């Protein structure tokens, strides 16, 4: 098991580095082609500032927007005991706090880092899952904290937003310069225009690919933490049946979207990997 854990961790680390590196290369290339060397420096500075800001954003702000209610150990002793045990197995310095979301939609949300880490669980999830399945979901969320997935996805989101912003202003600059090209008889930089148009889509696809990879990794680590991959698989199957029946009623016989355009891998594939 230790060999599997270390091998998987190395593979996922390399995968994340490649995806983040590709996103950073696209963002830097856009800045360099449009504004020169100084844009690369400004891009790095803005990413660093954005990461520092996101790391210091209190989870309470987001929880207030979601209307989440804190749960005390006295209110849910079993839940806190499970989270404490799983956090110790995951070698976390601080066990996440638990919050309750009065929503019928079954979901669990991970926020923050360190002492600010929080897992918010909806009413719908508590009603849908039994204890064994809930352990698997909690282990999945704790695995996100262990791998610092929240910080990694924040970095990806910042690179994506910067790429979109720089591509927009780059295209605006090209449009403003069109009269100059026409007067001088020169052709507009078609290759640059194509790059500016495609770059935001490329970075978005890379961001979604990173998110899907982190979900697979969290599933695997949850199975290793609990020793019960079938428990999480059962929870995913219940969620699939609930969401599947809802979408089939609205769009009978049609899929929701392409797998490349989803932030999470297909539930069927996640279950298959867990049961293997």
Catalytic center residues: 141
Write the CB contacts of 213 (distance below 8 Å, at least 6 apart in sequence): 12, 15, 16, 19
Angle at 121 between CA 117 and CA 122, to 5 degrees: 150
Strand partners, 69: 100
CB 232 within 8 A of CB 221: no
Coil, strand or helix at 120: strand
Q: What is the 3-state secondary structure (H, E, C) of 20-79?
A: HHHHHHHHHHHHHHHHCHHHHHHHHHHHHHHHHHHHCCCHHHHHHHHCCEECCCCCCHHH
CB 106 within 8 A of CB 235: no
Among 221, 223, 230, CA closest to 92:
221
Coil, strand or helix at 241: helix
């Amino acid at each position: 098991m230790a060999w599997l854990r270390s091998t998987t961790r190395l593979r996922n680390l390399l995968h994340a580095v490649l995806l983040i590196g590709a996103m950073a290369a696209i963002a830097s290339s856009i800045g360099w082609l449009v504004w020169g060397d100084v844009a690369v420096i400004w891009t790095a500075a803005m990413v660093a500032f954005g990461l520092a800001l996101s790391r210091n954003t209190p989870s309470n702000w987001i929880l207030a927007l979601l209307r989440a209610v804190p749960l005390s150990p006295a209110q849910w002793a079993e839940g806190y005991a499970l989270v404490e045990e799983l956090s110790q197995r995951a070698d976390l310095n601080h066990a996440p706090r638990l919050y309750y979301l009065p929503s019928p939609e079954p979901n669990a949300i991970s926020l923050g880092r360190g002492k600010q880490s929080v897992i918010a669980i909806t009413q719908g999830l508590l009603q849908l899952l039994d204890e064994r399945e809930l352990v698997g979901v909690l282990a999945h969320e704790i695995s996100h904290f262990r791998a610092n997935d929240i910080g990694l996805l924040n970095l990806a989101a910042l690179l994506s937003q910067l790429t979109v912003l720089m591509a927009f202003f780059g295209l605006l600059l090209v449009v403003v310069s069109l009269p100059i090209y026409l007067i001088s008889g020169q052709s507009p930089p078609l290759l640059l225009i194509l790059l500016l148009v495609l770059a935001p889509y490329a970075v978005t696809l890379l961001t979604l690919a990173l998110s899907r990879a982190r979900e697979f990794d969290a599933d695997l680590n949850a199975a290793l933490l609990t020793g019960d991959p079938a428990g999480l698989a059962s929870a995913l199957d219940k969620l699939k049946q609930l969401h599947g029946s809802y979408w089939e009623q609205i769009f009978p016989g049609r899929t929701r979207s392409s797998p490349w355009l989803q932030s999470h891998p297909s539930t069927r594939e996640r279950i298959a990997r867990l049961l293997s």
